[in-house]
Amino acid sequence: MENPKTNESVKITMYSTAVCPYCQRAEMLLKNKGVTEITKIRIDEAPELRDEMVAKTGRRTVPQIFIGDTHVGGFDDLSALDRAGGLEPLLKGQA
């Protein structure tokens, strides 16, 4: 059964590492919002992708989360967006 909370066509991309607790928290928050698929780009397995992440975001820390083409930021940014009521519309492709 498809979760009515989200639009499955919105792509979620997250730059992460294997041992990042904030990456795990971000993934948990997104899954609690009904997200079933997150494309993870592991910069610990492919260090050259860190340069790509920095070029796209201007930041060196993980996670760096994109919802569609929108750079949300890290876990704190994602959590703040959720508290402000902006996460669900973005997940539904309405923002």
In order of 5, 27, 54, the CA distances from 32 in angstroms are 10, 9, 28
The 10s digit of each residue's pLDDT in 16-75 is 999 999 999 999 999 999 999 999 999 999 989 999 999 999 999 999 999 999 999 999
For the domain covering 12-91, report its CATH number: 3.40.30.10
In this prediction, residues 76-84 reach a mean pLDDT of 98
Domain ranges of the chain: 12-91
Which amino acid makes up residue 38?
I
pTM (2 decimals)? 0.88
> Do you find a cis peptide bond into 47, omega within 30 degrees of 0?
no
In order of 6, 26, 43, 58, 95, the CA distances from 10 in angstroms are 8, 16, 22, 23, 11
